[in-house]
Each structure stands twice: as structure tokens, then as C-alpha cells.
Structure 1
Amino acid sequence: MIHYFRSFFRPTDHLRTSLLKRTLSLQSGKYMVSPFASLGIGKALLASLDEQGIHVPTQIQNRGIPKILTGSNVFIGAETGSGKTLTFLLPIIELLTRQEKSRGIERSPHRPRCLVFAPTRELGEQICKVAKKLSHRAKFSCTEIVGGRSRKAEEESLSVPRDLVVATLGRFTEHNRKKNIMLSEVRHIVFDEADYLFSRLGFREETKQLLLNVERHAVLKDRKPQMIGTAALKTLEVESFFRYYCPSVSFVLSDKLHQLPLEERVRSEPLYLNNVSEKRTVLENLVKEISKSEDSKTVIFCNTVDSCRFVDHVLSDLNEKGECLPSACYHGEMPPNERRASWIRFCEKDAGFLVCTDLGARGLDVPSIGAIIMFDFPKTATSYLHRVGRIRNEGVVYSLITQSSRKIAELCLSAHATTKTAKKLVQIP
């Protein structure tokens, strides 16, 4: 009976949502059918999810997991905090498990079956951490090659048979060149934060070279790996990139893609300045006020490394006077170990403020962020959306707006103000 239900009942999004509000209980016994099981996830992964207290899929998981399980090329587009990492990890691990059982696949050193690419080492470590939690019950092995530790340690990790490897493109290219990791057995490739990886400012050329290498191995094996991309934005670059390299790609999107958080959850507080010289005073007053409460954390965004260093210096001076909480700095010009240490300090509550460039606006998950200060207003609506998306629950966004940033600020703030009633999409310039 249960088997019949799973095989032939395919609820619509609307009906599935109502079903997911409660676990299906069969009156005739003690059997419980997990909502994730109805999506096609097996017992081992269900046990891992249950251990973590995850019982009900999000909207994008409802839509994305079944599609990825078909083995087709998929782009997952959904807002920050919607569960995109589990959306691709769960079905990929399920497929790897099925392949191993049905084909008797033997794991080989240096030849993973799945590659997950992230734009930063911190995001890569975060993805691997989620995967390792799933591996407590599901039988698969994963590791990361994202920098921040010795190359020898990474080489030793790759010498053990791995099913899934999370990597940054630069470190992967280095290990691939040395034959520490090879593409011959790869069946799934994931590009997390694809809008950045495929952009001119990101890793477009490195990604192209990777795909050319994959194509060469696919021809030799007469098999093309499944391609998956995820992002909080579906940009023209993402669409053109996917349609060129995977013409059959399916775009699976959430209803809230490109929308700013509703004002009931995230409040916008614009602060218009007559002169740039006022920014320091306004910043000092804000951090002093925020420091009176230690319940949540604050991220301060800057547009440049120099600006980031200036703000960090201001906060350090205030902290020495006992007028604000300790701060941590996070930008691309910091040595990897120092940047990692700053991130850990912020996550583990040793620092109340994180001063960062847009490097901290993508993918990184700190549930307790309650405020964002835009010391420099972002130059695009895309950056604004990513920054605001760092607030997972409730919070406030303070924007310091000068004459030079007024035009883009009015565009973003007007969109933020109308999401409560009209739910308009942010127009990406």
C-alpha cells in the first residue's frame, strides 16, 4: 500500500505544501511516511535529517529534489536561507547511493563521483559540513579542497576514495594539474553561487576551462555528467552560460526569487547624509547603540578593502574605549588563515560586528544576524539583494546614503518598500 502510494501519487506544489504541514500517518499501524520520502529520498538520508530535526521540505526543496533525481541538468534559483544546499546535496547523495547498489561501483582514490564548486573557502567548508552531517547515516565519503590548510593534507585526503569533493576553482585546478584529482569518474557537478562563478568578475574563464576538460573526459567515457547550478539570482549570464553548455537545462525557481524580504521581517532604515565626512559620526552612533544589545550580530558592508580597513579601525578604537562590541574584519586581501580566524570569531560570538566587503554577502550562513549597516551603499541592486539576504529571521538594514549613491539607493529602497504589498521583483541593472 505504501509502495503504491509512493509510486503513483505525485501531488502538485499546492497539495504537497498542505501535506507537508504534518507527517502522513497511517491509521492502520505505526508507519510514518516522511515528506522527504515522498520526494524520493531514501531511509539513510531520512535518518540523518531526522537527527538534525529537519522534517518538512522548503518550497525549493519540494520543486528541486525530484527534478535533480531524474538526472537532468538543473538550475536552482531561490532566495537566501531557502535551503538550496540540501536541495542539491540530498538528491545527489541519493543518486550516488543508487548507482553504487545497482552497478556495483567501486570507489577509487583521486576519482570522486561528484564535484561541488564554491566561490570562497568559507562557503566550501560550510557546504562540506552540511554533507558530513548527512554522512552520519548515509554511506558516502566527502572532503573539501578549498585552501586554508596544507596542500599535503589535501593530497592525503584525496588519496582516500571520496564520493564527493567540495572545492574552490583555484585549488581544484592546482590539484587537477598534479593528478591528485581526476575527472574520469565524475557524474555530477554543482556550481554553487553560479551567478558569481559565471560572471566576468568571478571565475568565468576558470569555469570554462573546467567544462572543456569535463567534455573531453565525457567523450572518452561516452557519458556527460549532470550539471547543477544554484544562486539567489537568475541573471542573464547564468541563463546564457547554462543554455550554451547544457541546452537541456531546467530552471527550477522559487516564488520569492529576486524579491526583497517583506518589511514585517526586515525593516529598512535609510540615513541620508549631506556630506561624506558625516559617515564616521553616523557609524559610531549606530554601533554604540547596537552594542547595548548582545542578542544578535551585525554585518557592516563596505565597497572596497580600504573602506573595510577604515571601518575596522574605527570600531577597534571604540572597542578600546568600551563603547562597542569587538569586531572582526573579512575581505579578499587578508591572508587565508587570518580571514578564516576572523570568520570563526564572528560565528562563535567572540565578535559582535563583522566588517566586510561583498565577499561576505554570498552564501555564508549565520542565523543570528539581526542588523546590517551599509557603510558604503552597494553599486548594484544585485549586491543590495545579496547583502540584505544575510538576515535570516528578523532585523533592520541601515543604509548610509550620500549624494553619489542616492540614485541606486532610491531604486533599491523603493523596491524594498513595495515588497510588502505588491511583492515586486528587484530589477537587476
Structure 2
Amino acid sequence: MHRRQAACLLTTLSSLRKAVHDVAQRHSCMRWMQNSAVGQANVITVPKRISEKIDSLRKSRGPIKWRGRVFNARPGKELISAKRKEFNYYQNQTYDKFKPPKLASDGWKHKRSCGDHFTILAFRGNPSLQDRGDSADKPTTFTSFDLNEKLLLALGNMDIKSPTKIQSAAIPSILKGRNVLCAAETGSGKTLAYLLPVLHMLLWETATHGRATQAGRPRCLVLVPGWELAQQIKFVAASLLKETSLVARYLDGSKSPKSLRHTFLTPADVVISTPGPVLNCLRQKFMTLESATHIVVDECDTMLDDSFCNTLLNILQRMHISTRSQSQTKPFEETQLILAGATMPKQAAETLKDILPEKALEIVATTHLHRIMPHVSQKFLRLHSQDKAAKILEIVTKDSRQSIPVMMFCNEVSTCNWLALFLEESNISVLRLNGDMDPEKRKGVMRSFQKGVSNVLVSTDIGSRGMDTIQVRHVVNFDFPRFMSDYIHRVGRVGRVGGSSGDHVTSFVVHKWDVDLVRKIERAVRVRDALPKVNANIKNKLVQRLVEQDDSGIFL
């Protein structure tokens, strides 16, 4: 019985082999005939099973899973590069909206995390610049605004050719006489966004109505939080007004009352200053704002916080701020209010409610406001506190050898002074900037840095707001900033319009509260969201933090 079954099986197997051989021979013959007809060799390409898998993926509209990650398409560019590669993040990677993303910085509150790091990579161009994707109705040249010819000539001499996004959006609204809150990312050209239309209107008032500025009665007031920024704006205004009869003047609060009075003995069309000296001159009647048709509050997020708010409101209450379009009022009877800043002051409407109604303030903001700059690489290093000195020396020595201008930030004046001395003792030429310095010494620091007297500047946050640091290529947060708004302003010293590519930021992460802020930054990048809790009321928040973290310390 077994022999018969075996014989049957052998016969069947032999028949199958013969049938398979015949089919293969016929298939090979047909393929040879086809290839011969077109003069091509028989080439084996992709195996059938793999080919079917590829076709299935191409037709599928669902997510693609790879190495435990989920993608909408191919991974794309790497956006976050981590020391531990499982935390790398890619352009087309997505997360479950019901599950928080895993962060490279999640374990950084443990002392064993020292030495870890991750980098938010630069992945696109400067969002402040206009590109082909912008709508066709936005002006692409300054001539489109019908500005005064002398201002256009000055722009040409300054080698400024095309408006940025915020300039294209804000200039038309300001020219219409509206009260405008102009909010855009750092280094996007906000100074020109308000100076150009205001100076144009002053020139128009003079040419059309024969209006002349009298001594002690400026027609435009520009208020800023620091005199370094005031001097910078004065320089830009003077450059724009070079071929005109208008005068821009800086009001120096460090001068004696007698010198302040002499400032207003001759007419000044535009006065630029911090709020304190202006209020002092108003009280002593060295000047009056009765003729002012324009007031600009630059760095308004800082100006509206608890540090400057009372002084600023005191000045604004002395003016008749317009509540309608300037074209709807009699000329020169009301004052146009312009606010400008790199972060949006959330309490602006509440703070200014006694000055003007909320509906009378037009908000002009860019879409990239409060977001990580996509054109600047930002590295976060988890360090032990005792390793900071060696690491900063390594970084600065490398940058100095390559003549790379670097700007370092400290949270305290004492740390700023110590770091400058430490680097000087290491034979590195250093400039220092902080609020405790003698005013006369402070005046020349930024000028010397911009001229290249030294490529290394150690500063507190006094150097982080508003100032044009177009030559800076590297920012180092020796002390990690306490607040999100500080991080935005510090990082904004690089990647500015007109600057070079390849700018980068390095941040030392040491304290527990440092890690909390780093997590918020990393998460915002991974979920493609704006940076959270960007509130510039530093003075109020600092008091709250001191209460909450009274027992906190640095890692051991």
C-alpha cells in the first residue's frame, strides 16, 4: 500500500516539474522575443513583492510608519537633531494629538542628563522677507507707497531696495493716519516700518500746509526703553532726513537740567528718548507736546510692563490721541499713536483703555510672530554649573580664531562682570554692557562692537532689545533666560534682515527652571505651534517667580 502511494506521488511530482519547465520555457521565449524586438537586454529590476509594496504605499493616503515614528510622507528634512537619535524629529513627522510628544529634554531635570544636547536646525529662509508666494496686492518696492522722493533717495543710499513683510503691511496703514500696533519677529525692519511713513507725513505737512517746527514743540516723539536703542533710531532717522530740512534729536537723560533745557532752544521735528527724561522736561516746561501729531512707542511689550507703564501713561495723557483716521479729523488737532514690538503685549488694550478705545487701534502682525526662527540653528546643552566656564572658553576661543562676532548674555550684572573678566584673563578681547556701567562708558560700547573693535560682547538683557546687531553671527546664552520673551529677544540678535546666513545660537541649560522653558520651546517646534506664554511683563513675573522658587537650587 505504501509503495503504491509513493509511486503515485513521484509520478505527480514529475508531471508538475515538466509542466513548470514548459511554462518557464515559453515565458522565457516570449520575453526574449519582446526584448529582441526593441533591441534591449533582459533586465531584472524590482522584485514583484517589493514592487507591490511600493505601489501600495504610493496609493495609500494614510500615514507611513518608520522606526517607531509616524509620517505623512517621506521623512523630509531633519528639524531636530538630538544626541540620542531616537529623539530626532523630521519635517513630515506627526504626533497623536491625544498623546504629548516625547521630548529630548524630558529627562533633563536629573543630574545624570549632564552632557546631553539637541539642536533645532535651520530648515528654511528668513520669514521676514517677501517671497513669490506672497499675495500680489502687497507692495514689492518702496516706490509703491508714494513716499517722498528724498526718503526714497536716502533708502537707495542705504542700499535698502525691497520692503519686508511687516513694512509692506504696516506702512499703508500708518500713512492713512490710523493708530497702529505693529508686531513682527525680531530683525524684520520695524524701525523703517514706522519711521518712513511718519517722516513722509511730516514732510507733507511742511510742503502742503507750510507747517514749521518751533523750539520746544516737537512734531513727533519716539519713546524707547533704553538709550542705546534711542541713539540707533536717531542715527537711522538722521540718515533718512539727510537731504531734507527736518531735524531728529536724541534727548539724553544723563545730562544736567541746564543741558536738557539747551536741547530745546532750537527746533527739533523728531525727539527720540526714554520716557523718564521726556516726562522730566515736560514737568519743567522745557518742552510741550501740543504740536505733536505722531508718537511712537517702540519695544512696546517692554514699555507697557510694570517698569515703564506709569511714566508712559503720564506722557500719553498729556496728548490728544486720535480715536479715528487722521484723514477724518482736522489736521494737527490729534495725535497718531504707533506701537511697535517683537512680542505682542497681551494687556495693551487694557493698559491703554483710558487713552483710546480698543477699536481705535489697528493690529498689524506677521504670521511668524512668537515662533522659533526657522533660519537660525539653535543648540541646547545640558551642563553642570561648574562646566560652564570651560565650555564658554572653548566656544569663544573657536569663534575668535575665525573672527566670528559673538554676543553672550547673562541674567545678572555680577555674572556679566565676572564673565568679561574671566575671558580677559584668558587673553580674549571683550566688551561689556550692563545697566550698572557709567553712562559715558556705556555710550561707546555698542558703537565699538559694531565697528569691530572687539568681536566679543558680554551683556545683560539690556543689549537684547531693539538694537541692530546685523554683524553678530553667534549668540550664547551663558545664563538661560528666565522668560520666553527674553529668549525671543536674545535669539533675535542674529538672523536679522540684511545679515549673513549660517547664524546660530548656543544655550547652556543648568537650572530646573531652565529645563521648564526648554521643554516649552522644544514642544512648540515638534507640534508646529507658537511659543507659549510670551508675556513681557518681566518685573511682575520676576516677583512671582522669586516667591514660587524660593527653595530652588542648581543641580549638583
Give the Å deviation of 1:239.
4.1
- In the alignment, what sits opposite 1:7? none
Contact between 2:322 and 2:335, CA under 8 Å: does it hold in 1? no
1:316 to 408, 419, 424: 424
CA deviation string 1:23-49 (max 9, x = no partner): xxxxxxxxxxxx223223122211211
CA deviation string 1:284-320 (max 9, x = no partner): 22222222211x311111111111112112111112x
Give the Å deviation of 1:118.
0.9
User: What is the distance in 2 between the residues matched to 1:98 and 1:284?
Assistant: 54
> Which secondary structure does the structure 2 equivalent of 1:116 belong to?
strand
- In the alignment, what sits opposite 1:424? 529
> Which secondary structure does the structure 2 equivalent of 1:291 belong to?
helix
Q: Does 1:407 align with 2:516?
A: yes
User: What is the distance in 2 between the residues matched to 1:372 and 1:239?
Assistant: 33
1:260 to 372, 378, 396: 372
Q: Report 1:66-81 matches (<5 A).
A: 66-81=172-187
- In the alignment, what sits opposite 2:409? 301
- In the alignment, what sits opposite 1:377? 480
Contact between 2:282 and 2:288, CA under 8 Å: does it hold in 1? yes
2:458 to 351, 355, 377: 355
Report the AA paired with residue 251 of structure 1.
I
User: What is the distance in 2 between the residues matched to 1:244 and 1:351?
Assistant: 47
Distance 1:231 1:332, change over 3 A: same
Report the AA paired with residue 350 of structure 2.
S
Report the AA paired with residue 173 of structure 2.
K
Give the Å deviation of 1:423.
5.0
User: What is the distance in 2 between the residues matched to 1:297 and 1:148?
Assistant: 30
Q: Report 1:237-252 matches (<5 A).
A: 237-242=347-352, 244-247=354-357, 248-252=360-364
Q: Does 1:226 align with 2:328?
A: no
Identity %: 29
Distance 1:47 1:151, change over 3 A: farther
**Which 5+ residue runs of structure 1 have no aligned equivalent?**
1-11, 21-34
User: What is the distance in 1 between the residues matched to 2:289 and 2:135?
Assistant: 40
Q: Does 1:170 align with 2:276?
A: yes
User: What is the distance in 2 between the residues matched to 1:399 and 1:50?
Assistant: 38
1:286 to 383, 389, 395: 395
User: What is the distance in 2 between the residues matched to 1:106 and 1:131?
Assistant: 18
User: What is the distance in 2 between the residues matched to 1:114 and 1:179?
Assistant: 17
Contact between 1:384 and 1:412, CA under 8 Å: does it hold in 2? no
Give the Å deviation of 1:244.
4.8
User: What is the distance in 2 between the residues matched to 1:186 and 1:133?
Assistant: 22
Contact between 1:120 and 1:168, CA under 8 Å: does it hold in 2? yes
Contact between 1:191 and 1:228, CA under 8 Å: does it hold in 2? yes
Distance 1:267 1:134, change over 3 A: same
- In the alignment, what sits opposite 2:318? 213
- In the alignment, what sits opposite 2:328? none
Report the AA paired with residue 284 of structure 1.
L
CA deviation string 1:177-210 (max 9, x = no partner): 222211111111000000001011x301101111
- In the alignment, what sits opposite 1:23? none
Contact between 2:180 and 2:361, CA under 8 Å: does it hold in 1? yes
User: What is the distance in 2 between the residues matched to 1:217 and 1:42?
Assistant: 24
Which consecutive aligned stretches of 4+ in structure 1 deviate over 6 angstroms post-superposition? none
Distance 1:158 1:81, change over 3 A: same
Q: Does 1:346 align with 2:449?
A: yes
User: What is the distance in 2 between the residues matched to 1:13 and 1:91?
Assistant: 22
Report the AA paired with residue 266 of structure 1.
V
User: What is the distance in 2 between the residues matched to 1:177 and 1:217?
Assistant: 23
Contact between 2:407 and 2:476, CA under 8 Å: does it hold in 1? yes
CA deviation string 1:36-86 (max 9, x = no partner): 232231222112112222221111111111100111100110111111111
User: What is the distance in 1 between the residues matched to 2:303 and 2:234?
Assistant: 18
Distance 1:317 1:122, change over 3 A: same
User: What is the distance in 1 between the residues matched to 2:523 and 2:354?
Assistant: 35
- In the alignment, what sits opposite 2:93? none
> Which secondary structure does the structure 2 equivalent of 1:87 belong to?
helix
Report the AA paired with residue 272 of structure 1.
R
User: What is the distance in 2 between the residues matched to 1:228 and 1:401?
Assistant: 37
Q: Does 1:332 align with 2:453?
A: no
Report the AA paired with residue 204 of structure 1.
C
- In the alignment, what sits opposite 1:203? 308
> Which secondary structure does the structure 2 equivalent of 1:80 belong to?
coil
Contact between 1:77 and 1:253, CA under 8 Å: does it hold in 2? yes
- In the alignment, what sits opposite 1:4? none
> Which secondary structure does the structure 1 equivalent of 2:319 belong to?
helix
Distance 1:50 1:151, change over 3 A: farther
Give the Å deviation of 1:16.
4.0
- In the alignment, what sits opposite 1:57? 163
Report the AA paired with residue 46 of structure 1.
L
> Which secondary structure does the structure 2 equivalent of 1:173 belong to?
helix
User: What is the distance in 2 between the residues matched to 1:78 and 1:307?
Assistant: 31
Give the superposed CA RMSD: 2.3
Contact between 1:60 and 1:87, CA under 8 Å: does it hold in 2? yes
User: What is the distance in 2 between the residues matched to 1:301 and 1:234?
Assistant: 23
CA deviation string 1:216-254 (max 9, x = no partner): 999xx9933100000001121234334552220000111
CA deviation string 1:364-399 (max 9, x = no partner): 112111111111111111111111000024312111
Contact between 2:322 and 2:337, CA under 8 Å: does it hold in 1? no
Give the Å deviation of 1:151.
5.3
Matched residue pairs, number? 387
Contact between 1:377 and 1:409, CA under 8 Å: does it hold in 2? no
Give the Å deviation of 1:408.
1.1
- In the alignment, what sits opposite 1:15? 136
- In the alignment, what sits opposite 1:180? 286
> Which secondary structure does the structure 2 equivalent of 1:15 belong to?
coil
Structure of higher CA gyration radius: 2
Distance 1:276 1:315, change over 3 A: same
